[in-house]
Structure 1
Amino acid sequence: MTCHIHPSILSADFSRLGEELKAISSADAAHIDVMDGHFVPNLTWGLPVVKRLKEVSPVPFDVHLMIEEADRWAPAYAQVGCESVTFHAEAATAPIKLARTLRESGAQAGMALRPATGVEPYLDMLTELDMLLIMTVEPGFGGQPFLDLTLPKIRRAAAAIEGSGADLVLQVDGGITTETILRAAEAGATCFVAGSSVYGADDIPAAIAGLRRAASLSPQA
């Protein structure tokens, strides 16, 4: 299994985001949480800030849109060069059309599911996606504990991806530490978003390396 580590800048120092992006240059991508204060009860940044940060980032951007009207706003993030754009299934009116639009715009298409949203209604569209994100906390705020009740859903999603033959990344986001990453990896996740466990560490590159080692201990690796 190839393990991808995507530190979330939601846990970074907002006053020095350019430097905070450079600090995670050993990661596979930066996870960029865009929140509108409506889909989730928090507000972060929008397209102009993401576009400028993208221009100075040493790593690709994995944009996670926690916003309403995803069909309307998501394509713009692909158009400014973000390598991966993930929308929430709960916020998309036409998820297949949106995924195709993102791909046509040059980005990988991802779809996210809240902890209580079942994966089964979306299994037929796996081939339309490059990534499926299973939220392992309620979206909106960093620093929350990992919800073990999501592990069965991760297992079902991993089995469905394998059965579909789709070349699909299975990402998890929320409460990822060197302990919980192993449980998520054993369930079949291949990409891990980590916020406070990376940016809260004294040695950020060592924290990223530690997460990689922990995930590699899974029999799935």
Structure 2
Amino acid sequence: MVTNPMDYVDQMAKAGASGFTLHVEVAKENWQELVENIKSVGMRPGVALKPGTPVEQVYPLVLKPRFGGQKFMPNMMDKVRALRNKYPTLDIEVDGGLGPSTIDAAAAAGANCIVAGSSVYNFTYPDYF
């Protein structure tokens, strides 16, 4: 998560990114402008929220939460289910502890985009990141 995602939109687009996921916690004040900027450079906007953030905070934004090696949090799937029920055609991404033993739970909750970093690359970030 970055504190000013607007600063990274152009850089990510120039690097060839097709999507840009922002954290709802840092985009509360300017999310509409940020989403428009993301779209204007040809990327798909996405939104992530921390485990402690109520799912309702993303409802106005509907159009990741820590570092590699995070454990899967099955209790967060209630948020996925709530989003899927409210927005049946929404792309919903789950990131954090996804792999062979957890992907079915995320998909059953309604996720249709899965991020599997550490389970694929067997890598975790040091604590100072």
Q: 1:101 aligns with which of 37, 41, 48?
A: 37
Query: Gaps (5+ residues) in structure 1?
Result: 1-65, 130-134, 201-221
Which of 46, 55, 61 aligns to 1:125? It is 61
Percent of matched pairs sharing the same residue:
36
* Residue segments in structure 2 that go unaligned for 5+ positions in a row: 123-129
TM-score, with structure 1 as normaliser? 0.51
Q: Which runs of 4+ in 1 moved over 6 A?
A: none
Of the three residues 110, 132, 145, the one matched with 2:46 is: 110
> What pairs up with 1:1-221 in 2 under 5 angstroms?
66-92=1-27, 93-126=29-62, 129=63, 135=64, 138-139=65-66, 141-162=67-88, 167-200=89-122
Aligned residue-pair number: 121
CA distance in 1, matches of 2:10, 2:47: 13
Match of 1:108, as an amino acid? R
Measured in 2, the distance between the counterparts of 1:176 and 1:121 equals 23
SS of residue in 1 equivalent to 2:51: coil
Aligned 8 A contact 2:47 2:58 in 1: no
**Cross-structure match for 1:5:** none
- 1:67 positional shift: 0.7
Tell me the CA shift for residue 145 of structure 1.
1.4
Of the two, which has the highest radius of gyration?
1
Q: Which amino acid aligns with 2:80?
A: I
Aligned residue for 2:32, secondary structure, equals helix
Contact 1:169 1:191 in 2 (8 A): yes
Q: What secondary structure does 2:8 align onto? A: helix
Looking at secondary structure, tell me which structure has more strand per residue: 1
The residue type paired with residue 87 of structure 2 is I
TM-score by length of 2: 0.84
